[in-house]
Structure 1
Amino acid sequence: MVFQGSSAAISHTGKVRSNNQDSGYAGSNLFVVADGMGGHAGGDVASSLAISRLEGLDRPFDSTAEAERALRDAISDAAVDLVDTVGVRPELAGMGTTVSALIMVDDYAVIAHIGDSRIYLFRDGALTQITTDHTFVQRLVDSGRITPEEARYHPRRSVLMRVLGDMDTDPELDTFIMPTQPGDRWLLCSDGLSGVVDDAHTSKALGLGLAPGRTADNLLKQALDGGAPDNVTIVIVDVGGQHPLFSGTPTIVGSASNPVGVEVPAAAPRRSSWLHPNRQAANEPTHFEPAPEFLEELIEEDRRRARRRRIGWIAGVALVLAIIAGATWIGYQWTQTRYYVGADEDTVVIYQGVQQSIGPISLSTPYEDTGIPLDSLSDFARATVEQTISANSLSHARQIVSGISDLAGGGG
Structure 2
Amino acid sequence: MVFQGSSAAISHTGKVRSNNQDSAYAGSNLFVVADGMGGHAGGDVASSLAIARLAELDRPYTSTAEAERALRDSIADTAVALIDTVAQRPELSGMGTTVSALIMVDDYAVIGHIGDSRIYLYRDDALTQITADHTFVQRLVDSGRITPEEARYHPRRSVLMRVLGDMDPDPEVDTFIMPTQPGDRWLLCSDGLSGVVDDSHTAKAMAGGLAPGRTADLLLRQALDGGAPDNVTIVLVDVGGQHPVFIGTPTIVGSASNPSGIEVPAARVGRSGWLHPNRQAANEPTHFEPAAEFLEELIEEDRRRARLRRVGWFVGFALVVAAIVVGLVLAYNWTQTRYFVGADDDTVVVYRGIQQSIGPITLSTPYEDTQIPLADLPDFDRATVEGTISARSLSDAQLIVARLRETSGVGG
Both proteins in one fold, TM over 0.5:
yes
Q: Secondary structure at the match of 2:332?
A: helix
Provide the identity percentage: 82
Decide whether the 8 Å contact of 2:35 with 2:98 is kept in 1: yes
Aligned 1:5-404 pairs, distance under 5 A: 5-260=5-260, 262-264=262-264, 278-279=278-279, 282-404=282-404
Output the CA distance in 1 between the equivalents of 2:13 and 2:164: 21
> In structure 2, what residue type is equivalent to 1:262?
I
Q: Deviations over 1:166-205 (max 9, x none)?
A: 1222211111222222222211111111122222222232
Any stretches of 5+ residues in structure 2 without a counterpart? Answer: 266-275
Decide whether the 8 Å contact of 1:48 with 1:259 is kept in 2: no
Of the structure 1 ranges 362-371 and 250-259, higher mean CA displacement relative to structure 2 is found in 250-259
Q: Secondary structure at the match of 2:287?
A: coil
Q: Deviations over 1:23-43 (max 9, x none)?
A: 111011111000111123321
> In structure 2, what residue type is equivalent to 1:282?
A
Distance 1:277 1:327, change over 3 A: closer
Q: Deviations over 1:235-287 (max 9, x none)?
A: 0111222211222111111111125363159xxxxxxxxxx982357222221
Decide whether the 8 Å contact of 1:81 with 1:264 is kept in 2: no
Deviation at 1:159, TM superposition (A): 0.9
Distance 1:264 1:58, change over 3 A: farther
Distance 1:379 1:124, change over 3 A: closer
Deviation at 1:391, TM superposition (A): 2.4
Partner of 1:273: none
> In structure 1, what residue type is equivalent to 2:101?
A
Any stretches of 5+ residues in structure 1 without a counterpart? Answer: 266-275
Output the CA distance in 2 between the equivalents of 1:374 and 1:168: 97
> In structure 1, what residue type is equivalent to 2:337?
T
Deviation at 1:388, TM superposition (A): 2.3
> In structure 2, what residue type is equivalent to 1:319?
L
Decide whether the 8 Å contact of 1:90 with 1:277 is kept in 2: no
Q: Secondary structure at the match of 1:326?
A: helix
Decide whether the 8 Å contact of 2:9 with 2:235 is kept in 1: yes
Of the structure 1 ranges 199-208 and 22-31, higher mean CA displacement relative to structure 2 is found in 199-208
Decide whether the 8 Å contact of 1:127 with 1:199 is kept in 2: yes
Q: Secondary structure at the match of 2:331?
A: helix
> In structure 2, what residue type is equivalent to 1:189?
C
> In structure 1, what residue type is equivalent to 2:324?
I
Q: Secondary structure at the match of 1:44?
A: helix
Q: Deviations over 1:97-151 (max 9, x none)?
A: 1001111222222211110111122223332222111111221222222232332
Partner of 1:269: none
Deviation at 1:95, TM superposition (A): 1.2
Deviation at 1:208, TM superposition (A): 2.4
Output the CA distance in 1 between the equivalents of 2:377 and 2:89: 108
Q: Secondary structure at the match of 1:375?
A: helix
Output the CA distance in 1 between the equivalents of 2:302 and 2:57: 41
> In structure 1, what residue type is equivalent to 2:341?
V
Deviation at 1:7, TM superposition (A): 0.7
Decide whether the 8 Å contact of 2:41 with 2:281 is kept in 1: no
Q: Secondary structure at the match of 2:101?
A: strand
Of the structure 1 ranges 92-101 and 222-231, higher mean CA displacement relative to structure 2 is found in 222-231
Deviation at 1:410, TM superposition (A): 8.2
Output the CA distance in 2 between the equivalents of 1:83 and 1:114: 17
Q: Secondary structure at the match of 1:286?
A: coil
Decide whether the 8 Å contact of 2:91 with 2:281 is kept in 1: no
Output the CA distance in 1 between the equivalents of 2:375 and 2:94: 98
Output the CA distance in 1 between the equivalents of 2:203 and 2:132: 18
Q: Secondary structure at the match of 1:282?
A: helix
Output the CA distance in 1 between the equivalents of 2:133 and 2:108: 22
Output the CA distance in 1 between the equivalents of 2:285 and 2:61: 38
Give the number of equivalent residue pairs: 402
Decide whether the 8 Å contact of 2:42 with 2:281 is kept in 1: no
Output the CA distance in 2 between the equivalents of 1:212 and 1:280: 38
Of the structure 1 ranges 25-34 and 368-377, higher mean CA displacement relative to structure 2 is found in 368-377
Decide whether the 8 Å contact of 2:44 with 2:261 is kept in 1: no
Of the structure 1 ranges 277-286 and 212-221, higher mean CA displacement relative to structure 2 is found in 277-286
Decide whether the 8 Å contact of 2:8 with 2:212 is kept in 1: yes
Decide whether the 8 Å contact of 2:11 with 2:254 is kept in 1: yes
Output the CA distance in 2 between the equivalents of 1:364 and 1:260: 87
Q: What's the TM-score, normalizing by structure 1? A: 0.91
Decide whether the 8 Å contact of 2:52 with 2:262 is kept in 1: no
Of the structure 1 ranges 323-332 and 154-163, higher mean CA displacement relative to structure 2 is found in 154-163
Distance 1:307 1:410, change over 3 A: closer
Partner of 1:270: none
Say what the alpha-carbon RMSD is for the aligned residues: 2.2
Q: What's the TM-score, normalizing by structure 2? A: 0.91
Deviation at 1:330, TM superposition (A): 0.4
> In structure 2, what residue type is equivalent to 1:117?
S
